[in-house]
Structures are given as C-alpha cells and as structure tokens.
Amino acid sequence: MGGIDIPETIIKAEGVLKVYETEELKVNALNSISLELQAGEMVSVVGPSGCGKTTLLNCLSGLDSVNAGTIKIAGEDISKMDDTRKSAYRARSIGFVFQFYNLLPVLNAQENVELPLLLARVKPEEARKRALAVLEQVGLADWRCHMPSELSGGQRQRVTIARALVNKPAIVFADEPTGDLDSKTSREIMDLLLDLNRCEGTTFMIVTHDNELADRTRRKIFMKDGMIVEDKRNQDYDFTCPAAFSDARLAQKDFVSRKKA
C-alpha cells in the first residue's frame, strides 16, 4: 500500500453495556462504550471514582462479560470464545498490572516473573532466561533473589510490570499502577511504561486518577458515568521510534495475522 503504515486494530469495542444488578439497585457501569485501540498505542483512562474505569478494563480483557455490544480482539469476538480459549488468550496475549502488585509472597522476584511462563509450559531453563531479561529491562536484575516483602513499593511494581511483559503480550492493561506509590516513584514507574511503549511497541491501556501522569500519554480517554465523554490525542507528542520498535511492531502484526488466520 505505497509503504504507508496502516495501524492494526488490536481492540474494537462497539456499543458495550455493562449492568451490575443487586437486589436493591441496578448500576449501568458501562453505558454504550465504543472505542478502538491500535497496536503500539498508549492510552490513559481517567475519570472520577466509580465512573467505570476498572469495569472497562475487565470487559476489554475478557475477565468480565458484557450485557450488550461486542468486543473484538484482533478481529475475534471475545464473547464467542469458550472459557478455555478465553483463558488461553488471556495468558498469551494480555498482561495485567494492578494497583496492589498481586505478587506471590513466597516466591522471589525472579520466580514471580517466571510463573506465567511455567504456567504456559515454557521449559524452566528458557523461563529463567526470559525472566532475567525482563527483570534487567525494568532495572531489577540485582534484586532478582529478593522476596516481595524485601522490596519497596516501586520495586514491587517493577516486578509486576516485568511479570506482565514476560509473555510478550500484545496489550498490557494497568489499573491504577501508581495508586499505591508516592509521586516521585509514580513518575519513575510512568517513565518505565513510556519507555516500554516507545522502545518495545507494547500497547498499553492505563487507568489512573493522576492527571499529570495521564497527560504524558499520547491519547487520553475521559470517562464519566459509564461513558466516554472525551477522547483526546496529544498532537505535540514526542514519538521517536528506536530500531527495536519495528521488531516489536512486527511481532504484534504477526499476532494479529495469526488471530485472523
């Protein structure tokens, strides 16, 4: 196509509705959400507490089902996947980073990062090698034998980021990844996520209530009452593409075409 790089759509949501119903009340947590995410994008999602940010991530990642609308990942409708396929898809294609680390306290940093690989039946030796490589990438190689309780909050969050990335997922969902950190450490974690996006081409969707952090992403989605009220792109964004980026883009395209096949 004349050498023009056409972005690949990783996620496409259309008319998504999510209702939580309890005996006393009914909450429209997501109210007609439509959105598209391209491979390599970094998007922040902001909005007041209770506006549906976590619900959005849970639905887009297939952790939670929707009441209406469709969510397609690389062209495939997740509501039509059976549970086995959905779990396999989550294990291979999605990385998660939560506010409170969710590290296993009895495993050291490296073992925590190896775990998703071992669950995906990667050989132990290979798992060790890959875990070490990502730990190095997040600046924690020297801390690999430490237990989570021996690490600072920022270091623990680096371990969870390494764990989310070790499978080379097509997309990483992060829900308030800096919510439990002081502002200096938050900025450092955001620096790391931005570097990984720019240098590795990893697609990120990051929920935060910190506007200063959200302003550093190229695209910012504002939510209110279960709806997207604004979808803003930062035109002045400094988007340099180091050489490594194209490799990662190729890997993502490969993922997309495998899904289509």
Could you tell which of Mg ion, ligand ADP, none binds residue 62, using a CB distance below 5 to 8 A set by kind? Answer: none
Write down the residue that tokens 């988007």 correspond to.
239
Tokens of 180: 């439990």
Q: 53 or 158, CB closer to ligand ADP?
A: 53
Round to whole Å and give the CA distance between 20 and 29: 7
Closest residue to Mg ion: CB criterion = 54
Contact residues for 175 (Cβ-Cβ < 8 A; gap 6+): 53, 54, 57, 96, 97, 98, 99, 207
Q: Single out the segment in contact with ligand ADP by CB under 6 A; choices: 8-16, 47-55, 110-118, 235-243.
A: 47-55
How far apart CA 161 and CA 164 sit, in angstroms, is 5
Identity of the residue, 5 or 24, whose beta carbon is nearer to ligand ADP in the bound complex: 24
Instruction: Give the residue with the Cβ less far from Mg ion, 117 or 174.
Output: 174
Q: Whose Cβ is closer to ligand ADP: residue 63's or residue 199's?
A: 63
Token digits of residue 107: 């495993």
49 contributes a contact to ligand ADP by CB under 6 A: yes
**Contact status: 227 vs ligand ADP (CB under 6 A):** no
Under the binding rule (CB under 5 A), the answer on residue 108 touching Mg ion is no
> Are residues 140 and 112 in contact, defined by beta-carbon separation less than 8 angstroms?
no
**Closer residue to Mg ion in complex, CB, 54/186:** 54
Q: Tokens 């989570």 belong to which residue?
A: 148
Q: What b-and-e string marks burial along 119-150, b requiring 16 or more CB atoms within 10 Å of the CB?
A: eeebeeeebbebbbebbebbebeebbebebee
Among 10, 11, 29, 161, binds ligand ADP (CB under 6 A): 29
Asked if 55 touches ligand ADP (CB under 6 A), the answer is yes
Minimum CB separation of residue 56 from Mg ion in Å reads 9
Please tell me whether residue 35 adopts helix, strand or coil conformation: strand
Q: If binding is defined by CB under 6 A, does position 220 make contact with ligand ADP?
A: no
54 is a site residue for Mg ion (CB under 5 A): yes
Residues forming contacts to ligand ADP in the complex (CB under 6 A) are 20, 22, 27, 29, 47, 49-55
